[in-house]
Copies of this chain bind each other. A is one copy, B any other.
Amino acid sequence: MLSKSNIKRITGLHQKKYRQREGLFVAEGIKVINELLQSSFQLEAIYGIDASFLNISRDDSVIFQEVTLAELKKVSFLKTPQTALALFKIPENVLTISDGITVVLDDVRDPGNLGTIIRLCDWFGVSSLVCSSQTVDCYNPKVVQATMGSLSRVSITYVDIEGYLKEEKRPVYGTFMEGKNIYGSTLPSEAVIIMGNEANGISDTVARFVTQKIAIPRFGQLQKTESLNVATATAICLSEFKRNTSIEK
Contact = CB atoms under 8 A, between A and B. Distances in A.
A232 B221 CA distance: 22
Contacts of A148: 226
A125 interface: yes
A216, A220, A228: most-surrounded residue (chain B CB, <10 A): A220
Give the contact-size bracket for chain A: 35 or more
The A interface is mostly helix, strand or loop, or mixed, namely helix
A148 B232 CA distance: 15
Copies of chain A in the complex: 2
Contact of A181 (B149, B217, B247): B247
Interface stretch (A89-97, A116-124, A134-142): A116-124
Given A217-B246, A236-B239, 7 more contacts: A119-B225, A122-B224, A123-B220, A123-B225, A153-B222, A184-B246, A236-B236
12 contacts: A116-B232, A119-B229, A120-B232, A122-B225, A123-B218, A150-B225, A153-B222, A183-B246, A184-B246, A216-B239, A217-B246, A239-B240
Interface of A: 35, 112, 116, 119-120, 122-125, 148-150, 153, 181, 183-184, 216-222, 224-226, 228-229, 231-232, 235-236, 239-240, 242-247
